[in-house]
Structure 1
Amino acid sequence: MASPRALVCAAVASVVLVGGTAAGTFYVQARAHAGTGVVSSAAASSTGEAGGEATVEQVESVEPVVDRDALLARAMAEVSVADGAEVSVAVLDVATGERAGYGDGAFDTASIVKVDILAALLLQAQDAGRRLTAAEEAYATAMIVSSDNDSASALWRVIGRAEGLDAANERFGLTGTAGGEGMLWGLTQTTAADQLTLLGQVFGDDSELSAASRTYLQGLMGRIAAGQDWGVSAVTDGPGAWALKNGWLPRTATGLWDVNSVGRVTVDGHDCLLAVLSDGNATKERGVALVEAAAGAAVRAVGASGS
């Protein structure tokens, strides 16, 4: 008779990857071996009749593991991307933890960096044990709500330009973002994955930012001026279901547009963090259409939208 220890060891299940589908679903097969206590009726009835021990029937189960990146890639294949344009997307369903990413290139931030600038300012103020000054609050409101560039330049100086931004981002966990040279804050380079990380700092509880700082920044992102509230908001349930910041920038050398959108959106009751970056767009309007289509693909990939 096998010892109890041997029976326990024999119960360890092996996991084997057995296949996948074009939809991005892989199947994991778990095999439970002898000692699990599951005995076939035939084996049980023969116990003692032939003087031998009962044989335990092998049990197999199959459970799906969904590859969300593959689903997003498939959805993005149906998004119309004009020749020369590039797009990258990152999304997280806050409730389920499902996430997906498409593209890993670096893009100009344009005005989405204004969220990062304010986050850096708030972090520096926390470290100093102070509140924002009245002037800083006025700049912050204009910079986020109306995307005022002069206000962004003023706060860029306050945080210490690229050096200050990069120091804050190191603490925020951004690894692929570098502040623009001199006063060129709009040419800060970033990735969609980093923007998703930054959104986690702004909207999540596990953050370098205090609850008060997060609430302040979230509130401004929920008050974007009319005409600037496009982008990731296109996938939401309606008014009040988003907090965002957009960026748009025509490049002098090429005449092509950088168009970006980042924020928190509510889709079919799911809260998602969503970042869409693009460049090489012939016009701002085409860039907006691309960003909004990519946003729709992203929320479908994490199961936040049944459409």
Structure 2
Amino acid sequence: MRRHLIVLALAAGATGAGVTAHWFIADKPHRKSGVVVSATGSAKAGPELAAADSALRPFDQAALRQSVRAYIRTRPGKAGVMATDLRTGLTFGENEKGRFVSASIMKVDILASLALQRQRDHRWLSGGERELAGQMIRESDNSAADALYSHAGYGAGVRKANKSFGLQNTTPFSPSWGSSWTSPADQVRLLTNLASDGSPLNASGRRYILGLMGSVLDEQAWGVSAAARPDEKVALKNGWTPVRHQGHGWTINSVGRITGPGHDFLVAVCTGENPTMETGVSTVEHVAGMVVEALRAARA
């Protein structure tokens, strides 16, 4: 599911992300209702899946770590990754507690925090808030994020919700949400709260947020989705911004869930100090692919 990125268009963005950017993607798979659909091939099922399962090998975390580190050393900038398979229980992290500028992946935290607040007030998001939420997650609209960050109580409100979510390395920055700090490990913790019955968020709230993440605009369907196989479902949010006051270069992040036969992957890849956006996207997609394929091929 590698794709070729051919055009980058930049426009001035709202507070936090700094820049709104769109990749126009050639040779990409078609996506419908959060499902990645390839023009060729199909997901394994029945006897084929059983045969594949019998060929699984023990998970060699040390070998994967060596491979990921070797790749990252060839890339400019820095990177960290965290991934877990909720079906098998296998997990992997490399620099997973490293701190990265959040950019627009913070928008998932904003919406989850606001949804938890509304749930505890025994009400749901208003019609206006739902419209803003769709714009914020599906389109990565910064003005919508500004408004919902205010509704959530800015940094103080999100920090309080994050305690309930069990986040440990995330520091919301007020009033510029895109300048917040986070880690791949925390992003997987947040995804777990969206995918698990043990979350303080109720089922309808979790489905709502994942549903928005499963219907992002096609031009934003890069990142961890590159690790998905044909007909697997993908829910994701990407973040991208040039950094000027908290480092240099581009921050490129991608977080998401990939579900298919036998697997339920939660993946977060964060990068910083990339010389270009394209460099960061390539790093994110390659690391995500390395880790997810290793988890697929392993048995607990």
Q: CA deviation at 1:129?
A: 0.3
| Residue matched to 1:101 | 93
The reply on whether 1:287 has 2:280 as its aligned counterpart is yes
Q: 1:67 to 1:218 in 2, by over 3 A?
A: same
| Residue matched to 2:233 | 241
Higher relative contact order (CA 8 A, sep 6+): 2
Q: CA deviation at 1:237?
A: 1.2
The reply on whether 1:189 has 2:187 as its aligned counterpart is no
Unpaired segments of 5 or more residues in structure 1? 1-63
Secondary structure, in 3 states, of the residue corresponding to 2:218? Answer: coil
Cα deviations by residue, 1:132-166 (Å, 9 ceiling, x for unpaired):
10110011000000000000000000011000010
Please give the residue correspondences for 1:45-60 in structure 2 after superposition, counting only pairs within 5 Å: none
Answer whether contact 1:143 1:149 (CA < 8 A) is retained: yes
Answer whether contact 2:72 2:78 (CA < 8 A) is retained: no
Secondary structure, in 3 states, of the residue corresponding to 2:212? Answer: helix
TM-score after normalising by structure 1: 0.74
TM-score after normalising by structure 2: 0.76
Q: Distance in 2 between matches of 1:188 and 1:282?
A: 21
CA-based RMSD of the aligned residues comes to 2.1
Secondary structure, in 3 states, of the residue corresponding to 1:294? Answer: helix
The reply on whether 1:133 has 2:126 as its aligned counterpart is yes
Q: Distance in 2 between matches of 1:113 and 1:91?
A: 18
Secondary structure, in 3 states, of the residue corresponding to 1:264? Answer: strand
| Residue matched to 2:67 | 75
Q: Distance in 2 between matches of 1:290 and 1:135?
A: 37
AA aligned to 1:134 is G
Q: CA deviation at 1:304?
A: 4.8
Q: Distance in 2 between matches of 1:238 and 1:166?
A: 37
Cα deviations by residue, 1:227-267 (Å, 9 ceiling, x for unpaired):
10000000101355210000001013565100000010136
Q: Distance in 2 between matches of 1:304 and 1:136?
A: 42
Q: Distance in 1 between matches of 2:298 and 2:131?
A: 37
The percent identity for this pair of structures is 41
Consecutive aligned runs of 4 or more in structure 1 exceeding 3 Å deviation: 64-67, 80-84, 266-269, 303-306
Answer whether contact 2:101 2:251 (CA < 8 A) is retained: yes
1:296 maps to which of 289, 294, 300: 289
Q: Distance in 1 between matches of 2:286 and 2:83?
A: 14
Q: 1:291 to 1:117 in 2, by over 3 A?
A: same
The reply on whether 1:218 has 2:210 as its aligned counterpart is yes
2:82 maps to which of 90, 94, 115: 90
Q: Distance in 2 between matches of 1:66 and 1:305?
A: 5
AA aligned to 1:188 is S
Q: 1:285 to 1:269 in 2, by over 3 A?
A: farther
The reply on whether 1:111 has 2:72 as its aligned counterpart is no
| Residue matched to 2:219 | 227
| Residue matched to 2:167 | 174
Unpaired segments of 5 or more residues in structure 2? 1-56
